[in-house]
Amino acid sequence: MNLPAIQTTDLTKLYGSVVGVEGLDLRIEGGEVFGFLGPNGAGKTTTIRMLLDLIRPTRGSARVCDCDTRRDGLAVRRRVGYLPGELKLPRRGTGRSLLAHLSRLREGAGEEAIEPLAERLGLDLDRPVHDLSKGNRQKIGVIAAFMHDPEVLILDEPSSGLDPLRQHDIGRLIRERAEAGRTVLLSSHALDQVEHVADRVGILRDGRMVAVESVEGLKDRAVRRIEIRLDHPEPLNGLGKVDGVSDLRVDGGLIRATVRGSMDPLIKELSHLPVHTLTSEEPELEEIFRSYYGEDDGS
């Protein structure tokens, strides 16, 4: 049986009476892209810092690349590419000089990958760091995490500050690494930045893992708001009985409803109607959370 790339057992971090992370049991396989989802403050970054031995757990254990993170923290960090959620770069020098310095710290590892990665991300390596936008500074962080081809990538909000085109480029880089057998832990509060690249997702709330799902399983729990405009009003005899459809409202040729899970049953029911337009509002992450937490979470 293959060893997991990342494994935690009862991983817990308490700050006095405040829970950072509690009782986290997690197993991420080699070559897997695991989406780590939750709102800000859910415990994602705290978990990542324990995996890298940047902070110590109150109890429990974690292994990365089959290294105990407490005993072998340095070995873990050598084998991991890490992009922090709050990236801070020195303001002196250029992107090229900074990345070359990071390569020298790794005895030259990744130096040949700097230029190709910069070209893919549209980054001018010769501009001073202090002149760069937030998005371009983020690109430097991405290159620093990827350039030495680590066994495990831990990316905390990697698309922060990037436009949609560059977000797509990051997604492609992640999938390429996974196809090459690397493992990616992708932390985000935005579902749309995870769902197209992740194999599985874990949902964290108040420091506790409330669900681990495949991406398809997560989508099945999603709720979408839809609006349908017909060319002219028609009887809607079966529409309210379609699996997953609720909150149906009809105003002449305008139909509004919510749909949970697959849209396929609704599309089939609409096939005999004079549909002019169909608009689907993609589900917000908070709405998916409520499908796990319940409408009233007590907070």
Same domain membership, residue 96 and residue 66: yes
Does residue 42 surpass a pLDDT of 80?
yes
Distances (CA, A) of 16 to 20, 34, 58, 67: 10, 30, 10, 28
Same domain membership, residue 190 and residue 125: yes
Residue 210: domain span: 6-219
Does residue 34 surpass a pLDDT of 60?
yes
pLDDT given for residue 296 in this prediction:
44
Question: What is the band of 298 on the pLDDT scale with cuts at 50, 70, 90?
Answer: very low
* Cα three-residue angle 146-66-182, rounded to 5 degrees: 30
Distances (CA, A) of 194 to 25, 90, 120, 185: 21, 29, 20, 10
In a domain, 168, yes or no: yes
Same domain membership, residue 261 and residue 195: no
pLDDT given for residue 299 in this prediction:
34
Same domain membership, residue 262 and residue 133: no
pLDDT given for residue 195 in this prediction:
82
Stretch 58-82: mean pLDDT, rounded?
96
DSSP string, 222-271: -EEEEEEEESS----TTGGGSTTEEEEEEETTEEEEEEES-SHHHHHHHT
Within 10 Å of residue 105's Cβ, how many Cβ atoms? 9
pLDDT given for residue 1 in this prediction:
63
Nearest CA-CA partner of 18 in 206, 221, 240: 206
Identity of the amino acid at 215: V
Does residue 258 surpass a pLDDT of 90?
no
In a domain, 259, yes or no: yes
Q: What is the pLDDT of residues 150-199, one digit of tens each?
A: 999 999 999 888 888 899 999 999 999 999 999 999 998 877 778 889 99
pLDDT given for residue 55 in this prediction:
96
Stretch 291-297: mean pLDDT, rounded?
52
pLDDT given for residue 271 in this prediction:
87
Strand positions, DSSP E, the chain: 6-15, 18-28, 33-37, 59-64, 67-68, 80-83, 152-156, 183-188, 200-205, 208-214, 223-230, 245-251, 254-260, 275-281
Same domain membership, residue 201 and residue 58: yes
In contact, 35 and 198? CB cutoff 8 Å: yes
Q: Helix, strand, or coil here: 289?
A: helix
In a domain, 57, yes or no: yes
pLDDT given for residue 217 in this prediction:
77
Residues with Cβ within 8 Å of 217's Cβ and at least 6 positions away in sequence, in order, are: none
**Measured distance CA(136)–CA(238) in Å, rounded:** 52
Question: What is the band of 239 on the pLDDT scale with cuts at 50, 70, 90?
Answer: confident
Provide the number of structural domains found in the chain: 2
Same domain membership, residue 151 and residue 252: no
Range of lowest pLDDT (99-108, 136-145, 238-247) = 238-247
Stretch 206-227: mean pLDDT, rounded?
83
Stretch 17-32: mean pLDDT, rounded?
96
Q: Mean pLDDT, the chain, as a whole number? A: 89
pLDDT given for residue 153 in this prediction:
98
pTM: 0.79
**Measured distance CA(71)–CA(232) in Å, rounded:** 70
Q: Helix, strand, or coil here: 100?
A: helix
**Measured distance CA(216)–CA(119) in Å, rounded:** 33
DSSP 2: P
The CATH code of the domain that includes 244 is 3.30.70
The CATH code of the domain that includes 62 is 3.40.50.300
Q: What is the pLDDT of residues 100-115, one digit of tens each?
A: 999 999 888 899 999 9
